[in-house]
Amino acid sequence: MKKALSLLLLPGISTQCFGEVGRDYLWRFSSNGELAAVKFRSDVLGALGKASPDNPVTIERLEAVGPKIGDDLTNKALEALYYAILLIAVYISGRFEQRWMAGAIMAAALWGGMYLLGFTALGMGWKVCLALLITLLVCWRLKLNFALGAIVGLLHDVFITLGILAMLGVEIDLNVVAALLTLVGYSLNDTIIVYDRLRENLRATPDLPFISIINAAINQTLSRTILTSATTFLATLSLFIWGGGVIHDFALTMLIGIAVGTFSSVYVSSVILLLLGDTEQYTRMQQDVEYEKPGEHGVV
């Protein structure tokens, strides 16, 4: 097949097994915009027909994506990933540290920084990396430790998943980006459950060492985390095996991300809190929030 298509002199053509092995294939190539769809179909079918006359060939789908459209989609996907992480930081700052104002100020400042970076000649990838670095520094400076731990955990999930996909030779397309955005929400769900139990333990046993409180919170949520991740992994594995080539890369990204996200919720996000631990801050936090506790006259 490759030898037959090489005679057409299509620039940068690549052949990839797609769907059922030995039956479906995906071809990608560059075009100067002058290639007519009808002529392309006839040329490809003719070349493959001569190479293998006993095997009938059909073209199921032909798509053309211009360079500007491709760049716009990639930039919007990266920008969406950044703003998703930023809004998550604001939510966690208010939800667990009762610092909505600090979170709002941080979001406004970082949005302004992203706007100013838009006037530079940097690519969107570099802009997002710089904005994420600034976000981490702002969270550290404002002592938004819960938000910082969650963001580090999310970046851990995204970068390790991308690294494994790169090692496997998977192309990073919009399906993969969609899976990464899904993983951001999935991993955050686990992290928030651990954080919520940690906050409850801070209220119930504020005199214990912070490391003991974190350890108890992780152990109390560990069975739930493992069961949830295992069932989600099995469902995604079914999509990976029987879902077909259309969602193959999406399912593969989800499989990797579920494993990495479960690891980060237990071993990364909470450890960041311990490393940045400000016991007085956590004590003030749990004292500032109203909570239920047994009293002499009922519930306070």
Q: Is the pLDDT of residue 293 over 50?
A: no
Beta-bridge partner residues of 25:
17
Structure tokens at 40: 């392309």
User: Average pLDDT of the chain?
Assistant: 78
Q: Is the pLDDT of residue 233 over 90?
A: yes
In 3D space, the residue among 22, 24, 27, 25 whose CA is nearest the CA of residue 8 turns out to be 27
Q: Is the pLDDT of residue 198 over 70?
A: yes
Measured CA to CA, the distance from residue 228 to residue 281 in angstroms comes to 32
Tens-digit pLDDT profile for residues 247-270: 888 999 999 999 998 888 888 888
The pLDDT value given to residue 298: 41
Percent of the chain with pLDDT over 70: 82
Q: Is the pLDDT of residue 297 over 50?
A: no
Beta-bridge partner residues of 16:
26
Terminal Cα-to-Cα distance of the chain (whole angstroms):
75
Structure tokens at 231: 């069932």
Residue that the structure tokens 């739930």 belong to:
224
Tens-digit pLDDT profile for residues 149-162: 888 888 899 899 99
Least confident of 33-37, 136-140, 267-271: 33-37
3-state secondary structure 49-94: HHHCCCCCCCCCCCCCCCHHHHHHHHHHHHHHHHHHHHHHHHHHHH
Q: Determine the 3-state secondary structure of 297 from DSSP.
A: coil
The pLDDT value given to residue 202: 81
Q: Is the pLDDT of residue 300 over 50?
A: no
Radius of gyration of the chain (CA): 25
The pLDDT value given to residue 66: 58
Q: Is the pLDDT of residue 69 over 60?
A: no
Sheet strands (E) in the chain: 14-17, 25-28, 294-295, 298-299
Q: Is the pLDDT of residue 65 over 80?
A: no
Q: Which residues contact 177 (CB under 8 A, 6 or more apart)?
A: 74, 77, 78, 81
Measured CA to CA, the distance from residue 265 to residue 286 in angstroms comes to 21
* Beta strand pairing call for 298-299 and 294-295: antiparallel
Is this model's pTM higher than 0.85 or not?
no
Task: Give φ, ψ of 33 to 5 degrees.
Answer: 90, -5
| Residue that wins the pLDDT comparison between 274 and 67 | 274
Residue that the structure tokens 């002592």 belong to:
143
For residues 50, 51, 57 and 62, what is the CA-based torsion angle, rounded to 10 degrees? -90
Q: Determine the 3-state secondary structure of 26 from DSSP.
A: strand
**Could you give the domains of the chain?**
2-51 (no CATH), 67-294 (1.20.1640)
